[in-house]
Chain A
């Protein structure tokens, strides 16, 4: 019975703690997400958003708690290509000598042989992914020559090519043009319909209301978690942002 219960959740994080050399970055955090759910991760800088992502991808080890991805360990989720991570623009060296095609192909590395020779199916997956983010005209453009929005779409294409069922997106809307913003929100609806699970961090409160079924407010630990309509209240937001009133965050009109 126990395993069946776990399988209902794509992500099941229970009381996880992460510390860096004794400095606590995140403690007693819980999160449960099902297929087709979009969850917003909201918190201040340094509240542990990136740490949460790192714990889910296995980039940092948790010191306490348990993470189950589709009922299995993070390690086997990595092997199965279950999770894709779309980095923040600042997290990437945009001057790295690499073009769009090669970045998207990196999404396939995990399922290739040791020499990472692309098979026919890999080439097709990369082609399709690039088409979906509308970058077919930029296949061999170095990422340094792309706009912020195009670069964001490149990394989104990498996640699509990976065919992951869980997408983690760090600030997907920061520094992008209107066209990219529209394209990303359309893709989110498609992903949802395909049954993918999405966890995205954002500073923009309007985006949370727009796409997120669920919201997770964190400040080193979970402040509030649940349906956006219930949890995303001015009181909770104020607590999350350390006492700053939502008027200041939303602007006077909201």
Chain B
């Protein structure tokens, strides 16, 4: 990794590809990014950012318990992800405490439980890789699980793409025309838990919520069509993953953090220069100079 080796763009891109772990990291992270990006457009429109944060943190004890019992970590994460949402709903209904407060206290409680469990269960669980992700050290069984979950989420979202859009836009109409709104609610929640599980391998539990909201927010600034929003969201998520991994490789930076930072920069770019909704409204700018 000498400085002169990335003087040319060609070697900047191809050199890391000679390493097996880098090829795997780039592929898996792109897949995970695509899944999270797809879901992201629904979450941002539904206003579920905080919910995404809650679910992704709450999966922590599930992951730890699953590891300790030798079960697939996705199973544990899924149970705790959905469980946290059920608990949030229950406390909200049975007490006078406001919803955002309930969300905050439930997910921090779960998260704390996870940390305590890690310290108690002396096994080969690497707290650092759960918290911050480890796309470069992903194991073969994890690869299989990630591919399986990712495909499952993509298939579910593709089948119910339009129904979910309607559910986010106008649930009352959905119900009126006989669409099962309750099913869609839990479908979205299930996809959220599953995406959080695969996402945490790339960027870790703490930052996975960024994978679930930033690409959607970026896309929302760039288009007025839902289908385009999904495409832009997926693309920006994949591109950020690739950029993040390359940057972390060449400059020896934390990978998860680099991926999320890349997403944040893309968002900032859209925020400033988006044709219609950016601060500087490039469209108007060009119109003047035509």
A residues with CB within 8 A of B: 21, 54, 57-59, 75, 78-81, 83-85, 87, 91-93, 96-99, 102, 106-107, 109-111, 114-116, 142, 144-145, 158, 162
Report A-chain residues with C-beta under 8 Å of the C-beta of B173: 85, 87, 106, 158
B290 at the interface (CB under 8 A from A): no
Q: Are B224 and A142 in contact (CB under 8 A)?
A: yes
In the complex, per-residue mask of B227-245: 1 if CB is within 8 Å of any chain A CB, else 0? 0110000000000000000
Chain B contacts for A97, CB-based, 8 A:
45, 220, 223-226, 228-229
**6 A/B residue pairs, CB under 8 Å, sorted by A:** A59-B171, A80-B178, A84-B176, A98-B226, A106-B173, A116-B163
**Complex partner residue of A115 from B93, B159, B225, B226, CB under 8 angstroms:** B159
Q: Which residues in A have their C-beta under 8 angstroms from that of B159?
A: 114-115
Give B283 Cβ to nearest chain A Cβ, in Å. Answer: 14
For the complex, give the distance between the alpha carbons of A3 and B98 in Å.
47
A106-B170, A114-B159 given; A99·B175 CB < 8 A: no
Question: Is the CB–CB distance between B170 and A87 below 8 Å?
Answer: yes
Q: For A59, list chain B residues within 8 Å (CB).
A: 171-172, 175-176
Compute the total of residue contacts between A and B using a CB distance below 8 Å: 78
Evaluate contact between B225 and A110: CB separation under 8 angstroms. Answer: no
A85 contacts B179, C-beta separation under 8 Å: no
Please report which residues of chain B, range 254-283, place their CB below 8 angstroms from some CB of chain A when the two chains form the complex: none
User: Are A78 and B178 in contact (CB-based, < 8 A)?
Assistant: yes
A109 touches B162 (CB 8 A): yes
List chain A residues, Cβ under 8 A from B9: none
User: Which residues on A sit within 8 Å (CB–CB) of B176?
Assistant: 57-59, 78, 83-85
Centre residue among B93, B224, B225 by max chain A CB count within 10 A = B224
B247 at the interface (CB under 8 A from A): no
Complex CA gap A142/B175 in Å reads 24
Task: Tell whether, in the assembled complex, residue A115 and residue B162 are in contact, meaning their CB atoms are under 8 Å apart.
Answer: yes
The answer to whether A79 touches B172 (Cβ under 8 A) is no
B177 on interface, CB distance cutoff 8 Å = yes
B162-202 contact mask (Cβ, 8 Å, vs A): 1 or 0: 11011011111111111100000000000000000000000
Whether B223 and A109, one on each chain, are in contact in the complex, defined by CB atoms closer than 8 angstroms, is no
Q: Are A78 and B172 neighbours in the complex by a CB distance under 8 Å?
A: no
Chain A residues with CB under 8 Å of B163's CB are: 109, 116
